[in-house]
């Protein structure tokens, strides 16, 4: 899911909403440019009990990009 350009708290809220629609075992990949997502999304995953399978920091088109791979419990 493309969350680029959204600022805190919107990335975490959108991930929470997406997770609520998924079945157990489903995976969502979220791409964020907001640096606060590095804190907010892992905290959200701890609260929901889902699994953060990967967190990758990189750059794309000259801006920082955080990519999260989350598996629904």
CA dist 24 and 65 (Å) reads 27
Segment 4-18, tens digit of pLDDT: 999 999 999 999 999
Range of the domain at 39: 2-71
Tally the C-alpha atoms within 13 A of residue 7's C-alpha that lie toward its C-beta. 0
pLDDT digits over 16-70, tens only? 999 999 999 999 999 999 999 999 999 999 999 999 999 999 998 888 999 999 9
pLDDT at site 57? 94
Dist CA 23 CA 55 (whole Å): 21
To the query of whether residue 8 is one of the catalytic residues in this protein, the response is: yes
Give residue 60's pLDDT. 86
CATH of the domain at 55: 3.30.110.40
Q: What does the block give as tokens for 47?
A: 């609260």
Asked whether the beta carbons of 15 and 41 are under 8 A apart, the reply is yes
Structural domain total, the chain: 1
Active-site annotation holder among 1, 8, 10, 18: 8
Looking at residue 10, what is its pLDDT?
A: 98
């Amino acid at each position: 899911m493309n969350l680029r350009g959204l600022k805190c708290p919107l990335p975490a809220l959108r991930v929470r909403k997406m997770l609520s629609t998924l079945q157990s075992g489903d995976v969502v990949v979220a791409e964020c440019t907001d640096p606060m997502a590095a804190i907010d999304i892992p905290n959200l995953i701890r609260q929901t009990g889902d699994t953060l399978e990967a967190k990758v920091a990189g750059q794309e088109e000259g801006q920082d990009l955080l990519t999260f791979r989350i598996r629904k419990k």
